[in-house]
Homo-oligomer: A and B are copies of this chain.
């Protein structure tokens, strides 16, 4: 699309009205992760062709709360933080494609529009939600410390219904903050056809991951997770059969593009 500027809608003469600027995109955030196992069939049903279940631990799920500050290369958003800060909750499973294991985000909610746009670009199926998670702070009057015993709560609501909540009590430093979201993402990106009943106008499978990643000391802990039913959500189908673990970690991330794994047409998936 030539003649106008801007990475995403709206494209204009100047390019400054675009909801998001071009990558790279930068993120500093706090991640609270709950990993658990569900019925592997409930994961498999969420994997469209050409994906298949992960060969090992196919029922593993991660639900991750993230409290983010983000910006583009200009860093302009940081000084106008309504354009920089957002909260996010996302649900990740694993899958396989051409012999490799990938992570895949199946559900994700954020509370800002620029976060929806960056997500859709990366194949994250973003919707708006109300997301909250306890923040650590050096002063403990009204905050947990990043130390054994520190307690963190996390909640997610959408369309005025609470759909998930978790409580994590830190126990000890850990090697990682989970494994389910530890692979590059394999996401579908698509645009429904504009004509009534038409197949997708565009569909592809992409691979995407961080260009840079820095993480602080991960903490592991005991965690409770509750999922609630909603007529507009299917998260509760991923029933919590067995908790694997809970984790906390502060991270810095740069995202700077992905790659196409497969173009998809009506007959290919």
User: Chain A interface (Cβ within 8 Å of chain B)?
Assistant: 1-4, 7-14, 16-17, 19, 23, 26-29, 45-49, 68-71, 75-76, 78-85, 106-108, 112-113, 116, 120-122, 125-128, 130, 132-135, 137-144, 151-155, 157, 159-162, 165, 167, 188-192, 194-198, 200-204, 206, 208, 212, 214, 216, 231-235, 237, 250-254, 256-260, 264, 266, 269
A192 & B121 in contact (Cβ 8 Å cutoff): yes
A19 & B127 in contact (Cβ 8 Å cutoff): yes
A82 & B159 in contact (Cβ 8 Å cutoff): yes
- Name A252's closest neighbour in chain B (CB-CB): B139
A47: shortest Cβ distance to chain B, in Å?
8
> How many copies of this chain are found per oligomer?
4
B78 & A144 in contact (Cβ 8 Å cutoff): yes
Given A3-B48, A197-B257, 8 more A-B residue pairs with CB atoms under 8 Å apart are A1-B188, A1-B190, A2-B48, A9-B127, A17-B107, A27-B142, A141-B214, A160-B162
